[in-house]
C-alpha cells in the first residue's frame, strides 16, 4: 500500500492511494472465507462451495467491497502520515481503478485553511470592574445564614407569612376533583408564591389542627387549559406550623461558618472575595473583547466540516455535564421538548467562535515562534490531575505531551494579545467644586487612564 499522489486545492486535499494486488487478493480471500459459511450454493453443502463457483454465481466482485473496507483504514492512515496533512473532517472515498495491478482509491478530505491575522497587537479595550456594594455583601451573608438556620415547631400561635405550613389539600372544580390537585403533608412556605395567587394568604391565621376550605380562581393563562380561569375549592388540613429560625449575626456565627473569630473579620473576607470575583469577571470580559477583535481581524476560508465537528463536540460536552448531574441528553431533550437539531442550532454560534478563535491563536503562536517547555507541560498535567483529583501518573497514562502542547501554545498566544493591548479603565467623575459659573456649566468628563 502506498501514496501515489497528493493534490491540494485550498482547504481540500485529494489523495490517490494504491493497494497492491497481493494485499487485495488476500483481503478478498479472507472475505470469501468469512462469508461462504452462510452461503447456499446448489450442488454444495452449505459453506463448502469453492470461491470460483461463488463468484460465478454472484459475480466476480461479490467480495470486493468487504475486502476494500478491510484494507482501507490502514491504507488511509499510512497515506495521511506520508502526505503530512491533517484532516479536519470525514474523508470521502472513491475507487479510481481495480484491475490486475490492484486497487487505486481516491480520498478527499478538508484540512485547516491558510490563516491571516491582519492585526493582533495594539487593541484598545476598557476594563470595567463592578463595585462591591453593601447590599451584595449582606445578601451573600444572608444566604449562608439561611443555610445554617434551624427549623422549630410553632405551637403557641397561628400561621403567619414566612412560616412553613405542613398541609393536606385536595382541589375540586364544580365539586369534581382534578388531576394534580391533591397533596399530603406538603411543606409550603407561606408567602413564597409556590401556589396559585390567593392560596397561601388563606392559610395565614389558622392554627395547627384546623380543617378549612381555600377558595381560589386559577389564572386565565394557567398552563392547564381545562383549569384556566376556573374557580376552585381546596379542602385543606393544617397539620403543623414550623419556622426557620435564623442564627444571630455575631462572632459565634462567624466561628461556625468560617475560619474567623469575629463577625467583622468574616464580613471583610466576604467583601474581599466578592471584589476578587468582580475583578476576575472583568478580566474575562476584557479577554472576550480582545477575542472578538481578533476574530474581526481573521481572514480564512474555513471548511464547514470544522464547524460541524466543533458543534458535535459542544453537544457531547453538554451531555457529559448532564451525566455528572445524574441526567443524560436524551432525558433532557424529552423534558425540554427540544430536538437534537435544536440543540445543535443553539451551539452552532459558540462552535463557530471557538473554531475561529483557535485558528487565529494558532497563527499567532506560529508568528511569535511560541515554544512550550517540559516544565510547562508538567505543570499543565499536574493542573489536570488536581482538577479531577487523580494521580499525576494516571493523567500521564492517558494524556501525552503532544496532546496538550498546542493547547499551551494557544494559551500563551492569548497572553501575547493581552500584553500588547491597551487596557484602560474609566475613572470616576470628579466632584464639582464651588467655582465660577463657567466651570459649573461645563460638563464633567470621564478620563481614561491606562492600567
All domains of the chain, ordered by start, with CATH?
2-110 (3.30.70.1050), 150-245 (3.10.50.40)
Adjacency order of strands within the sheet including 2-9: 2-9, 12-20, 102-110, 92-99
Mean pLDDT of the chain: 90
* Angle value at C-alpha 126, between 124 and 128, nearest 5 degrees: 165
Closest-CA residue to 341 (of 307, 306, 311, 310): 311
> All 3 cell numbers of residue 171?
382541589
Q: Estimate to the nearest angstrom the gap between the alpha carbon of 311 and the chain centroid.
A: 11
Percent of the chain with pLDDT over 70: 94
| 380/169 Cα distance (integer angstroms) | 57
Residue bearing cell 494558532: 362
β-pair partners for 443? none
| 317/329 Cα distance (integer angstroms) | 10
**In the predicted model, is pLDDT for residue 191 greater than 50?**
yes
Residue bearing cell 426557620: 244
| Alpha helices (H) in 36-129, listed in sequence order | 51-58, 64-83
Helix (H) or strand (E) holding 411: helix 401-419
Contact 173, 230 (CB under 8 A): yes
pLDDT digits (tens, 9 = 90+) for 370-387: 999 999 999 999 999 998
**In the predicted model, is pLDDT for residue 25 greater than 90?**
yes
Closest-CA residue to 246 (of 357, 146, 139): 146
3 state DSSP class of 18: strand
**In the predicted model, is pLDDT for residue 194 greater than 60?**
yes
Average pLDDT of the segment spanning 27-41: 90
pLDDT digits (tens, 9 = 90+) for 77-108: 999 999 989 999 999 999 999 988 889 999 99
Contact 377, 392 (CB under 8 A): no
> All 3 cell numbers of residue 340?
437534537
Supply the Cα-derived Rg of the chain in whole angstroms: 35
Amino acid at each position: 500500500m502506498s501514496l501515489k499522489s497528493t493534490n491540494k486545492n485550498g482547504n481540500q486535499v485529494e489523495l490517490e492511494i494504491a493497494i497492491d494486488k497481493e494485499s487485495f487478493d488476500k483481503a478478498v480471500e479472507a472475505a470469501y472465507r468469512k462469508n461462504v459459511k452462510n452461503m447456499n450454493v446448489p450442488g454444495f453443502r452449505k459453506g463448502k462451495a469453492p470461491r470460483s463457483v461463488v463468484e460465478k454465481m454472484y459475480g466476480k466482485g461479490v467480495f470486493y467491497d468487504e475486502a476494500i473496507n478491510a484494507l482501507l483504514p490502514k491504507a488511509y492512515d499510512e497515506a495521511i502520515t506520508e502526505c503530512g496533512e491533517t484532516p479536519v473532517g470525514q474523508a470521502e472515498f472513491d475507487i479510481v481503478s481495480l484491475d490486475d495491478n490492484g486497487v487505486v482509491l481516491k480520498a478527499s478530505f478538508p484540512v485547516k485553511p491558510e490563516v491571516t491575522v491582519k492585526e493582533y497587537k495594539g487593541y484598545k479595550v476598557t476594563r470595567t470592574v463592578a463595585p462591591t456594594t453593601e447590599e451584595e455583601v449582606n445578601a451573600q451573608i444572608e444566604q449562608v445564614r439561611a443555610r445554617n438556620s434551624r427549623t422549630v415547631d410553632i405551637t403557641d400561635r397561628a400561621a403567619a407569612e414566612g412560616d412553613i405550613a405542613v398541609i393536606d389539600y385536595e382541589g375540586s372544580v364544580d365539586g369534581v376533583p382534578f388531576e394534580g390537585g391533591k397533596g399530603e403533608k406538603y411543606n409550603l412556605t407561606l408567602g413564597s408564591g409556590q401556589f396559585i395567587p390567593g392560596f397561601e394568604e388563606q392559610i395565614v391565621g389558622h392554627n395547627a389542627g384546623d380543617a378549612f376550605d381555600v377558595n381560589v380562581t386559577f389564572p386565565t393563562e394557567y398552563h392547564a387549559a381545562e383549569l384556566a380561569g376556573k374557580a376552585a375549592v381546596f379542602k385543606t388540613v393544617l397539620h403543623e406550623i414550623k419556622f426557620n429560625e435564623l442564627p444571630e449575626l455575631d462572632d459565634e456565627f462567624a466561628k461556625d461558618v468560617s475560619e474567623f473569630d469575629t463577625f467583622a473579620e468574616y464580613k471583610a473576607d466576604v467583601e474581599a472575595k466578592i471584589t476578587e470575583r468582580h475583578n476576575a469577571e472583568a478580566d474575562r470580559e476584557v479577554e472576550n473583547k480582545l477575542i472578538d477583535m481578533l476574530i474581526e481581524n481573521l481572514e480564512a476560508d474555513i471548511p464547514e466540516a470544522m464547524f460541524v465537528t466543533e458543534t458535535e463536540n459542544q453537544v457531547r460536552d453538554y451531555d457529559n455535564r448532564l451525566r455528572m448531574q445524574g441526567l443524560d441528553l436524551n432525558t433532557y431533550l424529552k423534558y425540554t421538548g427540544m430536538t437534537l437539531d435544536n440543540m445543535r442550532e443553539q451551539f452552532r454560534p459558540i462552535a463557530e467562535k471557538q473554531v475561529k478563535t483557535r485558528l487565529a491563536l494558532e497563527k499567532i503562536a506560529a508568528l511569535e515562534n511560541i515554544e512550550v517547555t517540559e516544565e510547562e507541560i508538567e505543570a499543565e498535567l499536574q493542573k489536570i490531575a488536581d482538577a479531577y483529583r487523580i494521580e499525576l501518573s494516571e493523567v500521564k497514562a492517558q494524556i501525552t505531551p503532544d496532546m496538550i502542547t498546542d493547547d499551551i501554545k494557544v494559551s500563551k498566544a492569548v497572553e501575547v494579545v493581552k500584553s500588547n493591548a491597551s487596557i484602560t479603565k474609566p475613572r470616576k467623575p470628579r466632584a464639582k467644586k464651588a467655582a465660577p459659573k463657567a466651570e459649573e456649566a461645563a460638563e464633567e468628563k470621564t478620563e481614561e487612564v491606562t492600567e
